[in-house]
Structure 1
Amino acid sequence: MGDSPYLRGPYAPVREEITAFDLPVTGRIPQELDGSYLRNGPNPLGLEDASYGHWFNGAGMLHGVRLRDGRAEWYRNRWVRSQQVAQQLGEKWPGGPVFDGLDFAANTHIIRHAGKLLATVESGPLPYAMTPELGTLGPCDFDGTLPGGFAAHTKLDKAGDLHAVAYYWAWPDHVQYLVVGPDGRVKTTVNVPVADGPMMHDFALTDSRVVLLDLPITFDMDRARTGDPIPYRWNASHEPRIGLLPRAGGGVMWFPVEPCFVFHTVNAYDADGPAGPVVLDVCRYDGVFDFASLEGSGPLTVTRLTLDPATGRATRTDLDDRGQEFPRMDERVTGLPHRYAYTAVIDDESHPTASGDLPDTAFRNAIIKRDFQTGATEVHDFGRHATAGEAVFVPAAPTSAEDDGYLLAYVHDPARSAADLVILPAQDLAAEPLARVHLPARIPLGFHGAWLPTP
């Protein structure tokens, strides 16, 4: 392995694809959990040198567990078969559309929309359609309606429309706001003028507006010419700002903010109708952000920003300076006032891991629940040397209240040198897990996941 910390310890790639059935369980899997928990993340295949050491590199690998009738029926892990991955595995590429000559085994998220299961990535390559058993069907351009590349993060609104904001290095003067209808075809494309080719990893959605994060990580052509695999860097001359784009049409209203970077939003909502303030909750890196090392010059905080069109100002309130990332919430309240969020602890040195050389932004061994109404927090600690990734909220029933449900996360168990799928009660986060599904292999720390209930 190369010298990068993202190629060793809990980040180290696994070497083989595994299928296992009738998985052992400690505890009781709730009967209402009928579906699959899937997670995407980078897993280099045969790429040993340190040039592949940035965490964002590596072909996407999906990990999945199928739950039904209180049982864990199977675990699978599968690489997404891009052209390169298929060739390296000695297989025939499934074929499909390619945007601007770019093809990559999507490694960032997994979503389901209009009957298609899609592995997503940003900055040009198309998402890949997958089977429920994690086989690769091929790249997806939404029946030829996608005008360019797609995005890693999407938001589904209550009407069943899927929203995304796409950026691409060859679009230095704009990003694209896209809406994919319930029929799986792109129905809206809006080019939003920007400067310098900014990275917009995530965005937020309210009932009436799209919240755009135009922050100072921008495309660096000089680094691209040197062969830098991720040529995005801090650009001190790029004005940090957040924009409100009306979903009904119209121009963006921009709000200057202090220098910072945001990978992930929690949620946003209209505080007083479509013309009033927007409340936006994020995980915010204060000050200059070093994209190469994924470290900020200031603290990483859970922050609330209130964007007020009447004053043109963004008001900032830092809520929690414990390092937290990968926020998730009850997606049924996307774009509406939310009360709870669940985050992974990533830089709390009081929670040591089995590897002493993790980067500062590494996941640790705890999940935090925040009540935005009361300010209270609750922590689930998985024990010394464990590593826990993103936790996904699953409602107990379609009509259950916000926070009435479960958190699902892959957690490394140092005693077994393998991963567990841990199921926690969201309303009593500090309690013992309801169930641990013992998986037959280690799962490298990765990116984003989804609970996909049985249709």
Structure 2
Amino acid sequence: MGDAPYMQAGGYRPVSHEATVFEPDVVGQLPPELNGTFTRIGPNPLGAFDAHRHAFEGAPMVHAIRIQDGRAQWYRNRWLRTDRVCAHLGELAAPGPRRGLSDDAGGNLVQHAGRILAVGDGGVLPVQIGTDLATVARVDFDGTLAGGFSAHPEIDPLTGEMFAVAYYHEPPYVLYLVIGADGQVRKTMPIAVKRPPMMHAFSLTERYAVFYDLPVAYDPAAAAGGSRVPYRWRTDHESRIGVLPREATAPDVLWMDVDPCYVFHPLNAYETANRIIIHLVRHPRVFDREPLRPGETAPTLWRWTIDARSGTVVERQLEEHAEEFPRIDDRFKGSYNRYGFAVAMSPCGSGGYLAGPGLLRHDLALGRTDIHEVGPGRETGEAVFVPRGHDATEADGWLLSLVYDAREDRSELLVVDTADFTGEPTAVVRLPLRVPHGLHATWIAA
């Protein structure tokens, strides 16, 4: 699909203005324990439609629904004040340093060291936003970040430290970064690579960082053609994963070959005995026949078992469901987890790649998958899990996800109780407008 017509249809259409809706309607009862803000970020192009725009391009927009004391207080959407957005809106540029070719930090949202940060790929600096979604400033962690950052940092739930792997298209390395709980970078380590890969994510265990050096890499021809996402499937790039001790003092990475594939999103990784277990969503191929969107092959759930002593990886497919955007109960990041959630994707080639007809819950111990279907003519995006309480058992709580209803051309927030995962939602926050399908969602606790 070379001309990206999906951007003109259904839930993929961008919105043209910022909006605020106070006290949106709620069907059912919002749990009183849910106090915080559901947020989602993604590209929302400015101006006229460009049929040749990459799916990941476009001015970043944040959408949020504030929930407090059993009420939905407000919905807001706001563009990040990148330089292009400020120029388009006739506003003064946002403060903070400038680095790299882009400031489109529209890949993800994270909360760390008292800041809410919009983050992105390809050398983009983080952008701090306020609880009302207003852009505060670009951030280089108080001058301790030498280059760009990552769209997929991992936060250790025990130490509060944030780990990341940042890539840029010029240097022959990626940067392994550790940001302390105080919000300053305490480790910067270059990791040599053959050519700059799109290392969108990595995995973190109690003692190790795991890198994915896979065949989506920088393509000079795409860059020369004006692409703002100049990464393509490269048959001449290796397929390997690397293991490095988290506190290594030298970049002595143990590299191991895997079958050609691409991984946008691991579910989780943990150690058991002398092995590392990784559950991840594996794409057989992306950005090859369809260079503008990652929808040419069906992504499925796999388990990779790493034996660092022998330097081998055992790869096993666990599910036939097409799925993406895997999530867990974040309290179990880097340690053993039994449950995982994901978006059930539509069949390959049907046009969707950011949303699908339902949510999945995997019981990795029993090999069982449950499906929460959102109904005909409706598509749901990435969900976030909120535990029922600090001492709740794993995956006991609520799953929150934005659903687009094509018949009414509007969106709503589903709140699904995991105790009745396949049943009716506990509550639905009905919005009078459309929220375009986006990338990642985050729950920001009050």
TM-score, length basis structure 1 = 0.94
| Superposed CA RMSD | 1.6
2:305 equivalent in structure 1: 306
**Contact preservation (8 Å) 2:358, 2:372:** yes
Query: What do the CA deviations read for 1:22-62 (whole angstroms, capped 9, x no partner)?
Result: 1110000000000101110110011422232x210111100
**Contact preservation (8 Å) 2:26, 2:430:** yes
Is the aligned partner of 1:39 residue 2:31?
no
**Contact preservation (8 Å) 2:216, 2:286:** no
In 2, Cα distance between equivalents of 1:78 and 1:199 = 27
In 2, Cα distance between equivalents of 1:139 and 1:35 = 24
Query: What do the CA deviations read for 1:92-111 (whole angstroms, capped 9, x no partner)?
Result: 112210113x3423211111
1:155 equivalent in structure 2: 154
In 1, Cα distance between equivalents of 2:73 and 2:151 = 29
In 2, Cα distance between equivalents of 1:13 and 1:224 = 25
2:374 equivalent in structure 1: 382
SS of the residue 2:221 aligns to: helix
In 2, Cα distance between equivalents of 1:26 and 1:224 = 48
Match for 1:283 among 281, 284, 298? 281
2:78 equivalent in structure 1: 78
In 2, Cα distance between equivalents of 1:371 and 1:337 = 13
Query: What do the CA deviations read for 1:294-326 (whole angstroms, capped 9, x no partner)?
Result: 457654220000010122110011000211000
SS of the residue 1:88 aligns to: helix
Q: Which runs of 5+ in 2 are unaligned?
A: none
In 2, Cα distance between equivalents of 1:430 and 1:112 = 30
Change (3 A) 1:168 1:400: same
The 5-angstrom pairing of residues 37-436 of structure 1 reads 37-52=38-53, 54-100=54-100, 102-157=101-156, 158-171=158-171, 173-249=172-248, 250=250, 251-272=252-273, 276-287=274-285, 290=288, 292-295=291-294, 299-348=298-347, 358-359=350-351, 361=353, 363-436=355-428
Change (3 A) 1:296 1:449: closer
Query: What do the CA deviations read for 1:375-419 (whole angstroms, capped 9, x no partner)?
Result: 111101110010100011111111111111100000012343211
In 1, Cα distance between equivalents of 2:263 and 2:244 = 18
1:440 equivalent in structure 2: 432
**Contact preservation (8 Å) 2:124, 2:148:** yes
Shift of 1:453: 0.7
Change (3 A) 1:288 1:344: closer
SS of the residue 2:238 aligns to: coil
Q: Which amino acid aligns with 1:132?
A: T
In 2, Cα distance between equivalents of 1:288 and 1:444 = 22
In 2, Cα distance between equivalents of 1:405 and 1:376 = 19
**Contact preservation (8 Å) 1:363, 1:387:** yes
In 1, Cα distance between equivalents of 2:4 and 2:328 = 35
**Contact preservation (8 Å) 1:407, 1:425:** yes
SS of the residue 2:318 aligns to: strand
In 2, Cα distance between equivalents of 1:270 and 1:323 = 27
Shift of 1:87: 1.1
Shift of 1:360: 5.5
Q: Which amino acid aligns with 2:110?
A: I
SS of the residue 1:86 aligns to: helix
Change (3 A) 1:195 1:46: same
**Contact preservation (8 Å) 1:300, 1:321:** no
In 1, Cα distance between equivalents of 2:236 and 2:406 = 45
Change (3 A) 1:312 1:191: same
TM-score, length basis structure 2 = 0.95
Query: What do the CA deviations read for 1:321-358 (whole angstroms, capped 9, x no partner)?
Result: 21100001111110001111111012238xxxxxxx95
Shift of 1:287: 4.9
Change (3 A) 1:51 1:189: same
